A and B are shown apart, each in its own frame.
Chain A
């Protein structure tokens, strides 16, 4: 898939896949650099959020740059220990630890979606010991199927809008929000296109590369990301033309279940063993790009409807969307050979769903593997061995 070339970076026609991907990898590796660059490019207010249930469109329409706080500086986890028990999930400990060590000082604000006990509680400690100038909860309903949920969510969107306006000193007009919604819709459509390309041509666009692109999209302004994304898709399509088809052997197809793909090296392992991740339930994966906001009608209603219709997630109760059924459907549609559960240690919501999902998959004859991982403290060797053995088993069964 690599074809090193000395072409100049800026020329869209000439860029190759490796170069185009390098930009995304660079962002994912050092998100702070991207924020600082954006800040110097006159985008003044950077508002962080914990991915991915905050309506970024709303933050964007307030003229701010929504930055998804992902656990990238793993060394800072222990910074949180004086304030937070070590049996909080490592994702939250890492985010909080980064803030405590000054690693998030470039943010002017932070929005925390209240999805679980840890987000609900750590928000209050964080606000007490290391507050940002602007710090808000996004208090979503956690039952999504009754009429009261939508009414309340609309009210909560209105509250967040008012707080954002107060902070930025800028009124959010329906037109602003409409523009942001269209930008985000176009961007999600591009990411879905990229994902489909990855599923069809993992030999050109591997797992790590694909998910790095999705992750990097929380980290830089969507306008910039979209530009890079267009360039990447262009390079990928050119690459495809050059490629002789038919040589690639059929890869083992897996689905990832869980909240996020930690540690990132998990994706490298899947690449190494020749498996392709054909779908996922992850907040930092498909769930981020799965559905769009309606572009006609009241934009707040449209934003609320998107939130309520997002793919199932352990933290929300939605009788209209059974998570097991959705997962089985995904397995069928993607013709996946197996499912890997990627569970962060101490994440209670995911654990409560696990036996139910596993039983459903067992009954349908779908092999599964469960990995319990932590941000920053993980035995990669063990993951390699277990994933390797699992993929080998699936290969044998094909």
Chain B
């Protein structure tokens, strides 16, 4: 993380504005809806409701190193440390009188899509009961190979159930024209976001994974709004300017690395420094590439169903291997790091075999390391440092 981005100040404004609208929503009686990261939030925006992302709260609490404190409250209630770190942050905050990162915004409705995992399904179910508000589960069957008509039909039927549910709750008819506008804005934001991510493929690159983790907040939360589009236009403009001025993410980029999955939030800086010291730019991750939606405005519900159900988080072994290798090739990386994250079984189970398959097929050095995205109690610093030392040695000796 080299020269700070001017856009960072704008990001703070954009996100402050988003959170302020959450507070206003409460005051004005606009329902606050909890949603999961891979949920068709476009429907929530089109219905004029305010979407709130508890996973962002988890990431924030983790980055501020408060997981252990919040988790202690959750653990005292019987939610044990083997549960997802984000969920423990959220549940811990719900049961706490103290709020070290501000109180999680209380929901009026809880919407969950289980395409990412079954943990969210349970966490959100618990939250619905805790806050005594209705819970709606958008259920996505696992897609092992190709999707099927059966799954698509199930999803579209549930989209209708979701819209009926919102109509009954708000007493207003759902506006499909508005949905088309929202989808169009989401398309534009996704397009810009991917163009931004792609600049990491340049050698040297002006932007990398750790920058993306910082600048991703609007694509997650404000996808489908003007604000996200405006923000990524500005960021892209700044990146172009930086390229002209030859300002790069690393002053001496020697290698590009593929990082699988999410950051270790409380160690974001630790890892950024570790890679920078070794002249390695983490250029790409499937995580930041999650927001690659493209909606067909002619068939909005079908298209939403396809985009969300067929996201990589809901796909089988081979698809995930191809996705990783595809990104590695596109960004011409020199090595890869796979993060076995205790908080996330779906992305972690299978990595041992994936590592050897990917290494065999690409010839690249690669490692799997164990930690937790939120909870530092599972961070064995010396072992991890040693693992990475060997990894960088392999890169040097290639």
Binding site for B on A (CB under 8 A): 82-85, 87-88, 114-118, 120-122, 124-125, 127-129, 137, 139, 141-143, 146-149, 151-152, 155-156, 159, 314-315, 317, 319, 345-346, 348-349, 351-356, 358, 370
Contact = CB atoms under 8 A, between A and B. Distances in A.
23 contacts: A82-B352, A85-B342, A85-B348, A114-B141, A117-B118, A117-B349, A118-B349, A120-B118, A124-B316, A124-B317, A139-B141, A139-B142, A143-B139, A148-B157, A149-B139, A151-B154, A155-B150, A155-B154, A317-B135, A352-B122, A354-B79, A355-B77, A370-B78
Contacts of A149: 139
B194 interface: no
B346 A148 contact: no
Given A121-B345, A142-B139, A151-B157, A85 B340 contact: yes
Interface of B: 77-80, 82-84, 87, 114, 117-119, 121-123, 125-126, 129, 135, 137, 139, 141-142, 144, 148, 150, 153-154, 157-158, 161, 316-318, 340, 342, 345-346, 348-350, 352-353, 370
Contacts of A137: 142, 144
A352 B353 contact: no
B40 to A, nearest CB: 15
Contacts of B82: 87, 345-346, 348, 351
A125 B348 CA distance: 11
A349 B122 contact: yes
Contacts of A87: 82, 342
Contacts of A147: 157, 161
A88 B345 contact: yes
A200 to B, nearest CB: 34
A117 B345 contact: yes
B142 A352 contact: no
Given A143-B137, A354-B79, 8 more contacts: A117-B118, A117-B119, A146-B158, A148-B158, A315-B118, A348-B82, A355-B126, A356-B129
B352 A142 contact: no
A147 B139 CA distance: 13
Contacts of B123: 352
Nearest to A81: B352
B186 to A, nearest CB: 24
A128 B348 CA distance: 16
Contacts of B350: 121, 124-125, 128
B378 to A, nearest CB: 9
A128 B353 contact: yes
A352 B349 contact: no
Pick from B114, B119, B150, B153 the residue with the most CB of A within 10 Å.
Answer: B150
A84 B352 CA distance: 7
A113 to B, nearest CB: 11
Nearest to A115: B118
B154 A141 contact: yes
A142 B349 contact: no
> What 8 pairs across the A-B complex have the smallest Cβ distances?
A352-B122, A124-B317, A121-B349, A152-B154, A355-B78, A148-B157, A139-B141, A117-B345
Contacts of A124: 144, 316-317, 350
Nearest to A82: B352
A358 B352 CA distance: 37
B346 A121 contact: yes
A56 to B, nearest CB: 21
A128 to B, nearest CB: 5
Contacts of B142: 114, 120, 137, 139
Contacts of B79: 351-352, 354-355
Chain A contact residues: over half helix, strand or loop, or mixed? helix
Which of B118, B122, B126, B129 has the most CB atoms of chain A within a 10 A radius of its CB? B118
Contacts of B345: 88, 117-118, 121, 348
A355 B76 CA distance: 10
B274 to A, nearest CB: 23
A149 B137 CA distance: 11
B346 A120 contact: yes
Contacts of B157: 147-148, 151-152
A358 B144 contact: no
Contacts of A151: 153-154, 157
A156 B150 contact: yes
Contact of B118 (A84, A116, A139, A319): A116
A139 B141 CA distance: 6
Nearest to A349: B122
B156 to A, nearest CB: 9
Contacts of A129: 353
B161 A117 contact: no
Nearest to B342: A87
Contact of A152 (B114, B125, B150, B349): B150
B154 A348 contact: no
Contacts of A354: 78-79
A380 B161 CA distance: 49
B345 to A, nearest CB: 4
Nearest to B154: A152
Contacts of A356: 126, 129
A206 B334 CA distance: 63
A352 to B, nearest CB: 4
A83 B353 CA distance: 6
B119 A348 contact: yes
A127 B122 contact: no
Contacts of B83: 348, 351-352
B88 to A, nearest CB: 11
B317 to A, nearest CB: 4
Given A85-B348, A317-B135, A148 B161 contact: yes
A240 B377 CA distance: 57
A116 to B, nearest CB: 5
Contacts of B129: 356
A127 B317 CA distance: 9
A156 B153 CA distance: 12
B100 to A, nearest CB: 22
B121 A317 contact: yes
Contacts of A82: 352
A383 B274 CA distance: 46
A137 B316 CA distance: 11
**B78, B82, B117, B123 — which one has the most chain A CB atoms within 10 A of its CB?**
B78
A349 to B, nearest CB: 6
Contact of A348 (B77, B122, B137): B122
Given A143-B137, A155-B154, A348-B83, A84 B349 contact: yes
A354 B75 CA distance: 12
Nearest to A352: B122
B225 to A, nearest CB: 29
Contacts of B118: 115-117, 120, 142, 315, 348-349
A91 to B, nearest CB: 14
Contact of A141 (B119, B125, B135, B141): B141
Nearest to B143: A139
A115 B123 CA distance: 16
B349 A88 contact: yes
A127 B353 CA distance: 12
Nearest to B130: A356
B246 to A, nearest CB: 43
Contacts of A352: 79, 83, 87, 122-123, 125-126
